[in-house]
Amino acid sequence: MRKIEAKTFVQQRFSEYYQQHSPNINPPSSLLNREFAFLLFKERMMIRHKGAREPEDLQSLLRTIVPSDVYYSSAHYEKPEEEMESKGWLGADLVFDIDADHIATPCGKKHDTWACTKCGTAGRGPPPEQCPNCSGQKFNDTSWPCEICLETTKRENMKLIDVLTNDFGFATHEMTVGFSGHRGYHVHIESDIVQSLDQIARREIVDYLVGIGFEPKLHGLEEGVNAGLDEAGWRGRVARGTYEFLLNSNSQQLEETGLSKGVANSILAQRNSILKEWKDKTTLRIKGVGPESWKRIMQKAVETQTVQIDTVVTTDIHRLIRLADTLHGKTGLKKVIVPISDIEGFDPLKSAVAFKGGAVTLIVSEAPEFRLGDGRYGPFKNAEVELPTAAALFLLCKGAAKLKETN
Between 241 and 89, name the one with better pLDDT: 89
Asked whether the predicted pLDDT for residue 340 surpasses 90, the reply is yes
Q: Is residue 157 part of a domain?
A: yes
Rounded CA-CA distance 173/190 in Å is 10
- Looking at residue 278, its pLDDT comes to 66
pLDDT band at 397 (very low <50, low <70, confident <90, very high): very high
348-381 pLDDT, tens digit each: 999 999 999 899 999 999 999 999 999 999 999 9
Q: What percentage of the chain has pLDDT greater than the value 70?
A: 94
- The phi, psi pair for 312, rounded to 5°, reads -65, -40
Are 162 and 299 found together in one domain? no
What is the pLDDT averaged over residues 25-37?
96
Q: Is residue 135 part of a domain?
A: yes
> What residue numbers bound the domain in which 278 lies?
216-305
Residues 315 and 281 in one domain: no
CATH number of the domain that residue 281 is part of:
1.10.8.160
Query: 16 or 299, which is more confident?
Result: 16
Calpha distance 131→242 (Å, rounded) = 39
Distances in whole angstroms, Cα of residue 378 to Cα of each of 111, 169, 221, 333, 405: 12, 45, 51, 18, 21
Strands (E), 59-152: 69-73, 75-77, 89-92, 94-99, 113-116, 122-124, 139-142
Q: Are residues 293 and 319 in the same domain?
A: no
347 shares a domain with 228: no
| Domain shared by 22 and 78, yes or no | yes
Q: How confident is the prediction for the chain on average, in pLDDT?
A: 91
Q: How far apart are the first and last CA of the chain?
A: 5
Does residue 289 surpass a pLDDT of 70? yes
CA gap 94, 110 in Å, rounded: 34
pLDDT tens-place string over residues 197-239:
999 999 999 999 999 888 777 776 766 666 677 788 888 888 8
Q: Whole-model pTM? A: 0.91
Instruction: Report the percentage of the chain scoring pLDDT > 90.
Output: 68
Are 86 and 72 members of one domain? yes
**Is 70 inside a domain boundary?**
yes
> Which domain CATH number covers 320?
3.90.920.10
Kindly state the average pLDDT of the residues 292-298.
81
Per-residue pLDDT at 136 exceeds 50: yes
Which amino acid type is present at position 61? L
Of residues 296 and 87, the one with the higher pLDDT is: 87
Residue 399 within a domain: no
Q: How would residue 58 be classed by pLDDT, with cut points 50, 70 and 90?
A: very high
pLDDT given for residue 272 in this prediction: 79
State residue 285's pLDDT score: 66
pLDDT at 143 over 60: yes
Would residue 401 count as lying in a domain? Answer: no
Instruction: Give the pLDDT of residue 229.
Output: 75
Whether residue 285 is found in the same domain as residue 342: no
**How confident is residue 248, by pLDDT bands cut at 50, 70 and 90?**
confident
pLDDT at residue number 223: 60
| Band of residue 44 on the pLDDT scale cut at 50, 70, 90 | confident
Q: Which long-range contacts (CB under 8 A, 24 or more apart) does 253-261 make?
A: 257/296, 257/297, 257/299, 257/300, 258/296, 259/293, 259/296, 259/297, 260/293
Residue 284 pLDDT > 80, yes or no? Answer: no
Q: What is the pLDDT of residue 37?
A: 98
At residue 71, the 3 state secondary structure works out as strand
CA distances from 140 to 109, 110, 120, 365, 367 (A): 16, 17, 9, 16, 15
Judgement on whether residues 48 and 191 belong to the same structural domain of the protein? yes
- For residue 398, is it within any domain? no
Residue 1 confidence class, pLDDT cut points 50, 70, 90:
very low
Beta-strand relationship, 46-50 and 36-39: antiparallel
Q: Do residues 398 and 144 lie in contact, with contact meaning Cβ atoms separated by under 8 Å?
A: yes
* Pair 179, 246 in one domain: no
- The answer to the question of residue 370 being in a domain is no
State whether 175 and 196 are in the same domain: yes
* Domain-located, residue 377: no
Task: Provide the number of structural domains found in the chain.
Answer: 3
Pair (163, 140) in one structural domain: no
Q: Apex CA 175: angle with CA 18 and CA 51, to 5°?
A: 40
Residues 153 and 27 in one domain: yes
**Looking at residue 350, what is its pLDDT?**
97
How many of the other CB atoms lie within 10 Å of CB of 209?
22
